[in-house]
Amino acid sequence: MPYAIGIDLGTSNSVVSIVKDGVPTVISDEKGNRTHPSVVWFAWGRKVEGDGILVGARAAHQVMLAPEGGVYSAKRLIGRTIDSLEVQKAREVVPYEILEGPHRDLRIRVHKQVYPLAEISAHVLRYLKGIAESYLGESVEQAVITVPAYFNDSQRQATRDAGRIAGLEVLRIINEPTAAALAYGLGAHRDENVAVYDLGGGTFDVSILRIQGDVFEVVSTAGDTYLGGDDFDGVVVDYLLGQLDDAGRTAVSRSVGARVRIKRAAEEAKKKLSFEEETTIYVGSVYTNEAGEEVHLKTHLTRVQFNQMVFPLVKRTFQVCDEALIAARLEPKDIAAVVMVGGMTRSLIIQEAVDSYFGRPPAKGINPDEVVSVGAAIQADSLLSAMQGNINPNRSLLIDVTPQSLGIATAGGFVERVIERNSSIPTGETRTFTTSWDDQQEVKIEVYQGEGRKIEGNQKLGEFILEGLRPAPRGEVKVSVSFDIDANGIVKVTAEDPSTRQVRSIRVEASAGLTEQEIEDLRFDREEDEGLAPSPEQSEQPGA
């Protein structure tokens, strides 16, 4: 029988699950690992394939030995543009080079080869697909993939593209907090308000859900797509660099290997301080001084020091919680349970802060690393059963929301909102606009996402032109613009001149994404079916 898998494609680690014989199961690899590093490592040479590309734990190990070939934290970059603040921050810490592609998308260069971000995520997805196929003993073609609730349309499209490149039919893109709530509440017949506090490796989201039996309704969501465990690690990295003199810091900035080893030491120290009051941090052979001597780094860090250093980051998460609760018209006391998601929520300071803010400890018995993947698998099984016409006793109704407002550019550089944030999806709205000048015969429809009144405070998703308008004085010709958002949160925009019935529409493809032809050329299953090598032109993209 066919199976559909649920994938939590994380910044630091990823998880794959399945519902088999009605029971959700997290799938382990051959060594028993249930979580898998979202790391890809490329060997030196031309565009490599097969054994030249490592994924998961082997890739993470190889990065320590040869960091120049490693790519990690790709999720923080996917769907972004080269001029974003997040990309500027990433350039300071990652070992690979970040470039601008031909469509204002991001590409990365490793060993002189250039790869789209979606292709990096696709390697991780194919690896998880293979783990599931080994477990089931049969091929897997369909999946539900989760994304942070606050991912915009470009980031969702890029994630879907990654699934297609990996050879998967993506049945649904669902929000991580929604998946977690589904795993938490399925079959429990609860009637309560639940907060999902999702602090992963690279992103933070909080969603407020109302669970009534098997109906899961997202009331509001808020988030920060550049706040996660990597940032907590970064605080410790800064502390460690502060133990070096100017020459040492300069040497580290020039050494990819030293930066990777210091980051790994910072991450390990962060984990230890959740159950130890103090930890010793040692990084060998950080650099060689002018006398030719190897300099090692050894220092101590207490839990109190760590808590003080990361407090501003913890405070930022609760500013987001405030935003979500206000949108839901609720207060912390109205929340019956708090579901914790993401490896960073294992940190003692996070657990204590959540208890203090909501006035109750987090829900017990939930593995924060696995709950999102389990929820995705439940949804995948439900969708697959519906497609096959079967009645699934575990089927639940998910009512999600769009995390950010959508609108179009108007005269004066403003954005007219058409769909407000936290609107239930699927949904659709129509607005009527008029021409801006006499005898205007075409109108450019520019689609934006965000909360700013001016276009500068929003992200442009795409544009198209409606032509053939009848000549008339300004304001006389009307144009109807309709937005439709499907259950995946993907946007379609249609513009119509009611007087002539002239219509133009687009399914808003990410303006910073891959073309349809590029996706087809990159598809891994195409390589396997036709015996094709990966597209050679990827080694000669702009900036290479």
Domain regions of the chain by residue span: 4-187+366-394+524-536, 229-307, 402-507
CA distances from 4 to 132, 139, 178, 443 (A): 10, 10, 18, 43
> Best-predicted range by mean pLDDT among 122-131, 151-160, 414-423?
122-131
Peptide linkage before 471 cis (omega within 30 of 0):
no
- Band the pLDDT of 385: cuts 50, 70, 90: confident
Q: Which residues contact 159 (CB under 8 A, 6 or more apart)?
A: 9, 78, 79, 118, 121, 145, 147, 151, 173
* Cα within 13 Å of Cα(185), Cβ side: 30
Lowest mean pLDDT among 31-35, 152-156, 381-385: 152-156
What's residue 187's pLDDT? Answer: 63
Cα dihedral value 76, 78, 82, 88, nearest 10: 10
Q: How far apart (Å, rounded) are the C-alpha atoms in residues 232 and 234?
A: 5
Burial grade of 99 (CB within 10 A; 0-12, 13-18, 19 or more): middle
Three-class SS of residue 46?
coil
CA distances from 309 to 205, 231, 314, 340 (A): 22, 11, 10, 22
Q: How far apart (Å, rounded) are the C-alpha atoms in residues 251 and 245?
A: 10
Strand partners, 496: 480, 503
What's residue 533's pLDDT? Answer: 36
Q: What is the mean pLDDT of the chain?
A: 87
Q: How far apart (Å, rounded) are the C-alpha atoms in residues 283 and 261?
A: 7
Tokens of 224: 């920060």
Three-class SS of residue 145?
strand
CA distances from 421 to 101, 218, 327, 454, 472 (A): 30, 12, 9, 16, 35
Share of the chain above pLDDT 90, in %: 47
Q: How far apart (Å, rounded) are the C-alpha atoms in residues 477 and 525?
A: 49
List, by residue number, the catalytic residues.
8, 75, 176, 198
pLDDT at 201 over 60: yes
What's the CATH number for 229-307?
Answer: 3.90.640.10
What's residue 157's pLDDT? Answer: 86
Q: How far apart (Å, rounded) are the C-alpha atoms in residues 174 and 122?
A: 17
What's the CATH number for 4-187+366-394+524-536?
Answer: 3.30.420.40
Lowest mean pLDDT among 138-142, 216-220, 223-227, 389-393: 389-393
Structure confidence by residue, pLDDT tens digits, 76-122: 888 888 888 778 888 877 888 999 888 778 899 998 889 999 999 99
Domain 402-507: which CATH number of 3.40.50.720, 2.60.120.260, 2.60.34.10, 3.30.70.270: 2.60.34.10
Element (H, E) at 284: strand 278-288
Q: How far apart (Å, rounded) are the C-alpha atoms in residues 286 and 79?
A: 34
Structure confidence by residue, pLDDT tens digits, 453-502: 999 888 888 788 888 888 889 888 888 889 888 877 778 888 888 888 77
pLDDT at 530 over 90: no
Within this chain, domains 229-307 and 402-507 share the same CATH topology: no
Structure confidence by residue, pLDDT tens digits, 436-451: 889 888 888 888 988 8
Q: Which residues contact 206 (CB under 8 A, 6 or more apart)?
A: 177, 195, 196, 197, 198, 221, 222, 223, 317, 320, 321, 324
Name the residue among 95, 115, 98, 203 with its Cα closest to residue 165. Answer: 115
What's residue 422's pLDDT? Answer: 87
Tokens of 294: 């190897």
pLDDT at 541 over 50: no
Q: How far apart (Å, rounded) are the C-alpha atoms in residues 311 and 152?
A: 27
Pairing verdict, β 36-37 and 40-42: unpaired
pLDDT at 412 over 60: yes
What's residue 507's pLDDT? Answer: 67
Q: How far apart (Å, rounded) are the C-alpha atoms in residues 248 and 250?
A: 5
